[in-house]
Chains A and B, each alone.
Chain A
């Protein structure tokens, strides 16, 4: 069972992702939430849990998803990071992958799409 960190400035989207992960039948144990990249870094450094997968938005205030991916990798966190975002542009996704993200999922999404993208990472 995996612990997952969800980084998204929308509390609605964090709730939808949490519910969809469970509906998709993925082996989810605990879900940790963060409202931006800064909170995401704090969660990685202080939650005391081993995070197995990070799902991060891109367009967020304070520290966006691209900066967060770079900060997480610079901090030595090596778990897979998948961007869940409305930003489907090829160059943005390429920048996220080049920064250390594993994959991306476009919003809106279905639980089946989550399962397809995340099943092999958990």
Chain B
């Protein structure tokens, strides 16, 4: 889990600065759209790819940079996030329901938009994908290639979630 020198040089961000940017972007999304204060515990000591009773929202980048930004969240915390975003009661949010999936996908989308701002000032040479959401009782998320990544653990509501960013500079 590190950022190589090629990415650092092209973005003018070292790993710590990129992590701080993602931390601030995540805090901004949560403070304005979820009304939730976050703690962070960067750096993550060991990689986490295996999730239980969780939901993962992902948005891809394609163009001069490729990669994925993702949020991995326990379902119970995801329900609290959904309730806060939509003004719903927890019992109204169904496991695997549209509201839960859409809320986590939209958080990934907003984080993707924030990261895109540092990858592409004009915005036309990097495209964002439509959000993808997966959820399950026991699943693993792996990148097929060994590309650079930053993963940040956050704490909220006595629970933890991860925001991960993988990036590759295209030729």
Contact = CB atoms under 8 A, between A and B. Distances in A.
Q: A and B, one complex?
A: yes
B144 interface: no
Interface in A9-59: 9-13, 15-16, 19, 59
Given A11-B98, A92-B122, A87 B116 contact: yes
A62 to B, nearest CB: 10
Interface in A98-122: 106-110
Interface in B65-79: none
Nearest to B131: A10
A78 to B, nearest CB: 26
B156 to A, nearest CB: 16
Contact of A10 (B32, B106, B116, B123): B106
A19 B124 CA distance: 31
A108 B110 contact: yes
A61 B103 CA distance: 17
Contact of A92 (B85, B123, B131): B123
Contacts, number: 74
A89 B86 contact: no
For chain A, the bracket of interface size reads 20 to 34
A87 B102 contact: no
Most buried by B among A16, A92, A109: A16
Given A12-B99, A59-B130, A108-B33, A86 B112 contact: yes
Nearest to B115: A86
Interface residues of B, number: 29
Contacts of B121: 89-90
B113 A12 contact: no
B148 interface: no
B14 interface: no
B87 to A, nearest CB: 6
Contacts of B99: 11-12
B166 interface: no
B117 A88 contact: yes
A92 B120 CA distance: 11
Interface in A61-93: 61, 85-93
25 contacts: A10-B102, A10-B105, A10-B106, A10-B131, A11-B99, A12-B106, A15-B86, A16-B33, A16-B85, A86-B128, A87-B128, A88-B113, A89-B116, A89-B117, A89-B123, A91-B122, A91-B124, A92-B122, A92-B123, A106-B113, A107-B109, A108-B29, A108-B32, A108-B110, A110-B32
Interface of A: 9-13, 15-16, 19, 59-61, 85-93, 95, 106-110
Interface of B: 28-29, 32-33, 82, 85-87, 98-99, 102-103, 105-106, 109-110, 112-114, 116-117, 120-124, 128, 130-131
